[in-house]
Amino acid sequence: MRFADPFHESNLPSPPEPVMVEPRTQGAGNRHAPPPSPESKGSQVAEQKPQASNPEAEGQRREMTLRIDESDMTSAYCNTFRTDGSIEEVILDFGMNRLVPGRSNEMLFKVRNQVILNWRNTKRLALTLANLVRQHEERFGEIDIKQTRDGQQSQAG
């Protein structure tokens, strides 16, 4: 399945590199953070380090502010995912694995959300997630992906 990407690099002027936003410190996505104040609800601001807008003009730098609007954000829990891709994009399906009622040996993967990324952003996401997992394991110990919640070994390899 292919989607026309209006933001494909060939359709846009050369923008500065995307801003890497610091991890959340507040908001609905972080269960352990205090609720946002009324004046900050729905937006966060991250400062981008100055970057050359033109590689030939090293001396010229500009500063950019990124505003993040979370006022329409929704959150969803998932216990499984599925990936697919084409030459242009990666498709990530997120959802829930549930036992089918009355069939103890059958599960249903109910897809709830789908995210489609270009390969560049997929790589950036993969590196960011790898770093996040590394930091978590340094703090709390290794995550055993072959063990289920009840301590049994998972059937998945």
105 close to 98: Cβ distance less than 8 angstroms: no
> H/E element holding 7?
none
pLDDT single digits (tens) 80-130: 999 999 999 999 999 999 988 888 889 999 999 999 999 999 999 999 999
Place 56 in a pLDDT band, splitting at 50, 70 and 90: low
Q: What distances in angstroms separate CA 63 from CA 13, 17, 49, 55, 118, one per listed residue?
A: 18, 12, 7, 15, 26
Return the pLDDT at 70: 94
The domain spans of the chain are 14-75, 76-140
Residue 127 CB partners (closer than 8 Å, separation 6+): none
pTM confidence score? 0.54
Residues 6+ apart with CB under 8 A from 71: 41, 42, 43
Residue for token digits 């996401």? 125
- Is the distance from CB of 34 to CB of 26 less than 8 angstroms? yes
Of residues 23 and 83, the one with the higher pLDDT is 83
What torsion, rounded to 10 degrees, do the Cα atoms 28, 30, 33, 39 define? -30
Closest CA to 40 of 65, 12, 70: 70
CB 118, CB 89: distance < 8 Å: yes
Q: Is 42 exposed, middle or buried (0-12, 13-18, 19+ CB in 10 A)?
A: middle
